[in-house]
Amino acid sequence: MMNLGDLRVEIFADGADLAGIRAMYAKPWIRGFTTNPTLMRKAGVADYRRFAAEVLQVVPDRPVSFEVFADEFAEMERQAREIASWGPNVDVKIPVTNTRRESAGPLIQRLSRAGVQVNVTAVFTLEQVKAITAALAEDTRAIVSVFAGRIADTGVDPVPVMREALKILQARPRAKLLWASPRELLNIVQASEIGCHIVTVTSDILTKLSLLGKDHDDYSLETVEMFHRDAATAGYTIPSVRPPSG
């Protein structure tokens, strides 16, 4: 079985809880951090710039992704350049399209050629990966976040998609493929096995990492013990019922 030390994929923590980010930064095997407006809203973040400044104080030396939130490309570009100025370890998340399905390819190209480290997000198709790859500058670091977990939610195996995405991105050696929205610990193993560069993981899955390599016989026994313990704690009984006489 695979253990944590066997993983060949970089694990990025995904979230917007500052205390959680601080706790994950203390773990050297967490190689970077990602967040997005939805996670920030759920965490109660009210001031975007202040939150980002606090995160970068906690994480001064590992990649951190912050996302633009405009829908018009001109404003998206202004936000991206501002966010990029916050630190050399900042990656700017750019959605692959806006809400009108208009491709962000030209914007990605301008930013990448200007040296902005983009993290192209909400990617689902290989056609999108091809368009992004063509837009990226060869000498600028970049991330392409394919939402493998959400692809799986539609009943499609994401592994062949991710394998092909890796082949496409070979044309841009400074670009890394990120396995986004994993649903279970197995997805981290799958990402590692196919050679995916990064997997971004939420806290609920990170807490399961200690299960990697766990003996299945031991896990079976622990499960039986749990059922027995919970039944006893609940005080469950099944009284014998005698058949009616006569």
CATH of the domain at 133: 3.20.20.70
- pLDDT grade, residue 236 (50/70/90)? very high
Q: Give the tokens for residue 233.
A: 């704690």
CB 146 within 8 A of CB 179: yes
Local confidence band at 2 (pLDDT 50, 70, 90 cut-offs): low
Residue 242, in any domain of the structure:
no
Rounded to 10°, the helix 73-84/105-113 angle is: 30
In terms of pLDDT, which residue wins out, 242 or 110? 110
Count of domains observed in the chain:
1
Is position 234 within any domain? no
In a domain, 122, yes or no: yes
Q: Is residue 49 part of a domain?
A: yes
Domain that holds residue 10: 4-210
- pTM score, two decimals? 0.91
Is 216 domain-assigned?
Answer: no
Judge whether residue 11 has pLDDT over 90: yes
What tens digit of pLDDT does each residue of 148-185 get? 999 999 999 999 999 999 999 999 999 999 999 999 99
Assess if residue 140 is contained within a domain. Answer: yes
Per-residue pLDDT tens over the stretch 92-116: 999 999 999 999 999 999 999 999 9
Angle ∠(87,31,19) on CA atoms, nearest 5:
75
Q: Assess contact for 124 and 111: CB atoms under 8 A.
A: no
* Structural tokens at position 80: 């991206």
Q: Is residue 221 part of a domain?
A: no
Active site (catalytic) residues: 93
